Amino acid sequence: MPELPEVETVRRALALELGELRVLAVGGRSTALRRPLVVERLAAVLPGRRFAAARRRGKFLLLDLEPPGTLLCHLGMSGRLTLDAVSAPLLPHTHLVLRLEDGRELRFVDPRRFGLLDWLEPGAEAADPSLARLGPEPLDPAIGRWLPPRLKARRAPLKALLLDQHLVAGVGNIYAAEALWRAGVRPDREGRRTALPRLERLALEVRSVLEEAVAEGGTTIRDYAAPSGNFGSFAVRLEVYGRQGEPCRRCGAELRADVLGGRTTAWCPHCQR
């Protein structure tokens, strides 16, 4: 599933490419995504509007348009937003097509249909069920101050806490595993049983690994690609994610893999205590 760095990469690309382009027409087919995608509703509100800004909240994209309104998007497990010439053939599982005034189309492709596309009227964002309870952003420079007490107050394993979008928005399986390895903390250690200085280091490593991944355009494991079609290059810098059974690059011990909260977590039994 695309995490914060991948979504931020898409956001930056769309902000650059869409500018103030106007939507001319809407095509596609209504289908059941994370929420029902009702193409007819989007076709009634989008044509004639211009893109004004591309924002990100956690793993969600928010495309603001004028007259005011916002297209809310989540890429789910396999979703992609592509910018293609009108003449380019549609990929399978293309659910929405926005015809733009520059002769291109913004297309939403989602084979596994865990994504989301919805229209938010002005003022609806604050009450939207997907956005209203999201925690603070982990790229916040003050994360070392506010995240450790949140982790310390809970008895769940740290890996599960980092994935809790109500505590901190945007961190997923890949970068939680990498931050825990960098901080030298076991993923199954309870938050309440971890000393605050260790939690402070973990918080800083969360921000650091996310910033580095953003700079590399994210991580491509299977489906993720930016709207240009480029793949994220951070995969070559992964230290533990997907490397169970291989030697730790810091100490040489064999990396283990445990399942926490339904997610496989690779970690080093020697380096992470």
CA distance 134 to 193: 25
192 is catalytic: no
Look at residue 222 in the predicted model and tell me its pLDDT. 55
190 is catalytic: no
Sequence ranges of the domains in the chain: 4-127, 143-267
Q: Give Cα separations from 35 to 11, 73, 116, 117, 118 (angstroms).
A: 21, 11, 6, 7, 8
92 is catalytic: no
Query: Domain 4-127 belongs to what topology?
Result: N-terminal domain of MutM-like DNA repair proteins (3.20.190)
Look at residue 226 in the predicted model and tell me its pLDDT. 57
Look at residue 261 in the predicted model and tell me its pLDDT. 78
| Yes or no: domain 143-267 corresponds to CATH 1.10.8.50 | yes
CB count within 10 Å of CB 72 equals 20
Q: Give Cα separations from 246 to 71, 72, 239, 259 (angstroms).
A: 43, 40, 10, 17
CA distance 268 to 273: 9
3 is catalytic: yes
CA distance 230 to 96: 21
Look at residue 260 in the predicted model and tell me its pLDDT. 87
Query: Which listed residue (56, 59, 99, 189) is catalytic?
Result: 59
User: With a cut of 50, which residues of the chain have pLDDT below it?
Assistant: none
